[in-house]
């Protein structure tokens, strides 16, 4: 069979792209074969008044008398925002005092933080699945480091994306998340981030599905990125 006929058959069956894939992959590989390692630390203060959830898709939209502690909230989606600071800006709470109020927004931020995803709390036995109170969230987060997002800064250049589980109750809320991409100087990034609690800030956290005399204060987090970057 002549080469032109063979190419026509491959394309007709959708195989032309398959045989051309190695060349395409080679062309899209990063220019540098060996990545450079970088560690980046940022602090995030959650803006509690931006916390919104929608239980329309939840497995059980009716909360128990003790709120989420007796409910199956799988499928609930949510959204909240935060402000980003250079690592070490938010003080560490005293040892053992995980709910200490350590931040009052006295210094200007360097960027914005956006978090959205699904609540995965299941406090109902659902064989073969067992009750799972923790972790609380399965989320995707964007950390913008080139200034606060707003009308004059719609898409700051340097951004990191992460995904994974989260947990809202310290001190058991240290989690490891995947760094899935970024923009600007992080355009070629891969890696992981360790997220740890960093006390509370002065803003109340709205929308918590737990009966309380008053809302809890919003959390802070320290994010330690271990990055691999290709030039």
Q: Give the domain range for residue 152.
A: 31-229
Q: What b/e readout covers 125-164, taking b as 16+ CB neighbours within 10 angstroms?
A: eeeeeeeeeebbbebebbbbbbbebeeeeeebebbbbbeb
Domain containing residue 165: CATH number: 2.40.480
Same-domain status, 164 and 218: yes
Render pLDDT for 150-166 as a digit per residue (tens, 0 to 9): 999 999 999 999 999 99
Render pLDDT for 201-213 as a digit per residue (tens, 0 to 9): 999 998 765 556 6
Same-domain status, 16 and 68: no
Same-domain status, 16 and 37: no
Render pLDDT for 69-108 as a digit per residue (tens, 0 to 9): 667 778 889 999 999 999 999 999 998 898 899 999 999 9
Model pLDDT, residue 170: 67
Render pLDDT for 13-24 as a digit per residue (tens, 0 to 9): 444 444 444 444
Same-domain status, 78 and 120: yes
Domain count, the chain: 2
């Amino acid at each position: 069979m002549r080469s032109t006929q063979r190419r026509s058959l491959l394309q007709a069956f959708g195989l032309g792209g398959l045989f051309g894939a190695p060349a395409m992959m080679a062309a899209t590989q990063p220019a540098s074969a060996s990545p450079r390692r970088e560690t980046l630390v940022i602090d995030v203060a959650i803006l509690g008044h931006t916390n919104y959830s929608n239980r329309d898709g939840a497995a059980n939209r009716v909360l128990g008398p003790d709120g989420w502690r007796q409910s199956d909230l799988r499928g609930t989606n949510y959204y909240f925002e935060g402000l980003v600071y250079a690592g070490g800006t938010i003080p560490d709470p005293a040892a053992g005092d995980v709910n200490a109020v350590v931040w009052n927004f006295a210094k200007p931020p360097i960027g914005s933080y956006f978090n959205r995803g699904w609540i995965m709390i299941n406090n109902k036995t659902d064989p073969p699945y067992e009750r799972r109170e923790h972790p609380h969230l399965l989320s995707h987060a964007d950390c913008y480091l080139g200034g606060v997002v707003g009308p004059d800064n719609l898409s700051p250049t340097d951004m990191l994306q992460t995904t994974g589980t989260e947990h809202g109750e310290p001190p058991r809320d240290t989690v490891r998340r995947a760094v899935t991409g970024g923009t600007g100087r992080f355009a070629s990034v891969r890696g992981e981030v360790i997220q740890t609690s960093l006390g509370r800030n002065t803003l109340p956290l709205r929308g918590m599905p737990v009966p309380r005399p008053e809302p809890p204060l919003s959390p802070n987090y320290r994010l330690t990125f271990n990055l691999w970057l290709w030039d």
